């Protein structure tokens, strides 16, 4: 079995601990919640017979160290850290070409680079598939490698193949949290939102200190239209890491859908302060402007987004969201068509995204779902 990148959770804990230490009762309660979560996670792992696994004796220790450093950087999810992570994984496989986990790390790194607009979908998919296939050739029993291949299938809109690989990963190692995490994304894509929430809960039980998983738990709840729960979940995430722009953004979406536009605007502004210029967050803010009657402000942001989307077609989905909020159905459909042509990663949310509800009665929207391989 391949070793897991436990260092990322340790990092989340150290940074979270710095933020939660103090004398206030709320801070102590957070620390107690974290301690209970760790104990519960260890109990689950022991019950499944799947405690933390370290590098096999025949793995080059330098390669293993490079791999762990790569996972540390990969979990940060910034353009700079992703570049660094991929370089570290490359160094690991150069050092030990038989090290399956390092190839799995490479696969995940390439997919994440696509998510952040650093690689085209075609290039990222080809590289990720090659790396994941190499990992499986070296260790067919690696849950990590099966998860990486499933993730590649997910980004190629091969939904059923992704579900099969995630299922195989979980069968091989019921204690591998990332398999449940990304399985939840696949389930959400297919509209199985309650199953997705359950999968995310399992992932968090296994890795309670992951800020990213905590934030994505909120996303699963948002897709399930459990907005109050999503807001509460992102508050927990922000207690773990107050700099999580993703948590602020997801909270803002849930607040918007609950009709709390002023609070949603504050959440999106906070996300943009943390990640200035992020087109996803910019589109979210433009929507709030449109929904609250400030169309000139919404239009100003929309013009900028449309200009960027002409150079980066993967941004078309965000433009469609703004047009939907402004009530321009034709423009929204046209930009969604562009997002499908560009194979935007955001198309994964086409079936469940509440912000697209005004379009669902349009026959053209059903056609979009069919083109993405999703049943209306």
What is residue 77's predicted lDDT score, i.e. its pLDDT?
A: 81
Give yes or no for residue 191 having a pLDDT over 60: yes
Q: How sure is the predictor about 352, in pLDDT bands with cuts at 50, 70 and 90?
A: very high
Residue 347 pLDDT greater than 80, yes or no: yes
The rounded percent of the chain whose pLDDT value lies above 90 is 76
**Distance in angstroms (rounded) separating the CA atoms of residues 101 and 110:** 14
Report which of residues 263 and 18 the model is more confident about: 263
pTM recorded for the entire structure? 0.82
- Decide if pLDDT at 324 tops 50: yes
Coil/strand/helix, residue 22 = coil
Instruction: Return the closest-CA partner of residue 60 out of 84, 93, 31.
Output: 93
Residue 345 banded pLDDT, cuts 50, 70, 90: confident
**Predicted pLDDT of residue 375:** 83
Ranges 29-33, 84-88, 94-98: which has the least confidence:
29-33
Arithmetic mean of pLDDT, 142-159: 93
Query: What's the pLDDT score for residue 6?
Result: 32
How confident is the model over 124-137, as pLDDT tens digits? 889 999 999 999 99
Rounded CA separation 334/319 (Å)? 10
Which of 18-32, 244-258, 284-298 is the least confident region? 18-32
pLDDT exceeds cutoff 50 at 24: no
Comparing 33 with 78, the larger pLDDT belongs to 78
Size of the chain in residues: 376
In this prediction, what percent of the chain has a pLDDT beyond 70? 85
Dist CA 125 CA 151 (whole Å): 10
Contact by Cβ (8 Å): 23, 2: no
Q: What is the pLDDT of residue 116?
A: 79
* pLDDT for 230 beyond 50: yes
Q: Whose structure tokens read 């609070």?
A: 263
Round to whole Å and give the CA distance between 323 and 334. 10
Judged against a pLDDT cut of 90, whether residue 284 lies above it is answered with: yes
The CA dihedral of 221, 223, 226, 232, to the nearest 10 degrees, is 40
The distance from CA 299 to its chain's CA centroid, rounded to whole angstroms, is 29
Whether residue 44 has pLDDT greater than 60: no
User: With 50 as the cut, is the pLDDT of residue 100 above it?
Assistant: yes
> Dihedral, CA atoms, 22, 27, 31, 32, nearest 10 degrees?
120
Integer Cα distance of 1 and 149 in angstroms: 16
Judge whether residue 1 has pLDDT over 80: no
DSSP string of 153-214?
HHHTT-HHHHHHHHHHHHHH-TT-HHHHHHHHHHHHHTT-HHHHHHHHHHHHHH-TT-HHHH
pLDDT on residue 79: 87
The whole-number pLDDT of residue 56 equals 52
Average pLDDT over residues 56-60: 70
- Categorize the per-residue pLDDT at 170 as very low, low, confident or very high, splitting at 50, 70 and 90: very high
pLDDT band at 118 (very low <50, low <70, confident <90, very high): confident
- C-alpha 298/C-alpha 58 separation (Å) is 58
Residue 51 pLDDT more than 50?
no
Question: In the predicted model, what is the mean pLDDT of the chain?
Answer: 87
Quote the pLDDT of residue 117: 78
Quote the pLDDT of residue 16: 37
User: Rounded mean pLDDT of 13-35?
Assistant: 40
pLDDT for residue 39 is more than 90 = no
Does pLDDT of 54 surpass 60?
no
With CA atoms as reference, report the closest residue to 264 among 237, 241, 239, 286: 286
Higher pLDDT, 314 or 18: 314
Q: What pLDDT does residue 120 have? A: 81
pLDDT of residue 114: 85
- Cβ within 8 Å of residue 26, ≥6 positions away: none
Predicted local confidence at residue 2, as pLDDT: 37
């Amino acid at each position: 079995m391949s070793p897991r990148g436990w260092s990322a959770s340790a990092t989340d804990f150290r940074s979270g601990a710095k933020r939660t230490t103090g004398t206030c009762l709320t801070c102590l309660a957070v620390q107690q919640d974290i301690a209970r979560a760790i104990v519960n996670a260890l109990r689950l792992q022991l019950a499944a017979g799947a405690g933390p696994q370290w590098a096999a004796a025949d793995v080059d220790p330098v390669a293993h160290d490079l791999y762990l450093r790569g996972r540390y950087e990969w979990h940060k999810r910034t353009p700079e850290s992703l570049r660094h992570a991929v370089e570290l994984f490359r160094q690991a496989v150069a050092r030990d070409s038989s090290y399956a986990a390092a190839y799995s790390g490479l696969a995940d790194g390439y997919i994440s680079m696509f998510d952040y607009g650093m690689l085209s979908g075609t290039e990222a998919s080809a590289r990720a598939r090659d790396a994941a296939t190499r990992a499986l050739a070296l260790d067919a029993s690696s849950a990590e490698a099966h998860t990486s291949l499933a993730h590649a299938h997910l980004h190629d809109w091969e939904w059923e193949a992704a579900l099969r690989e995630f299922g195989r990963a979980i069968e091989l190692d019921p204690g591998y949290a990332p398999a449940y995490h990304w399985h939840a994304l696949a389930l959400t894509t297919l509209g199985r939102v309650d199953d997705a929430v359950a999968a995310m809960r399992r992932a968090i039980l296994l890795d309670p200190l992951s800020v990213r998983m905590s934030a994505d738990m909120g996303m699963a709840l948002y897709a399930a239209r459990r907005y109050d729960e999503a807001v509460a979940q992102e508050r927990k995430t922000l207690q773990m890491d107050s700099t999580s722009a993703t948590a602020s953004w997801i909270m803002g979406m849930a607040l918007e859908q609950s009709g709390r536009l002023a609070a949603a605007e504050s959440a999106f502004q906070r996300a943009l302060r943390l990640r200035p210029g992020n087109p996803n967050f910019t589109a979210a803010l433009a929507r709030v402007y449109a929904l609250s009657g400030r169309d000139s402000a919404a239009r100003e942001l929309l013009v900028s987004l449309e200009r960027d989307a002409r150079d980066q077609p993967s941004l078309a989905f965000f433009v469609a969201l703004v047009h939907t909020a402004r009530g321009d159905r034709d423009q929204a459909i046209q930009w969604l068509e562009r997002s499908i042509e560009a194979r935007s990663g955001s198309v994964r949310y086409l079936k469940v995204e509440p912000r697209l509800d005004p379009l669902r009665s349009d026959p053209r929207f059903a056609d979009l779902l069919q083109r993405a391989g999703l049943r209306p």
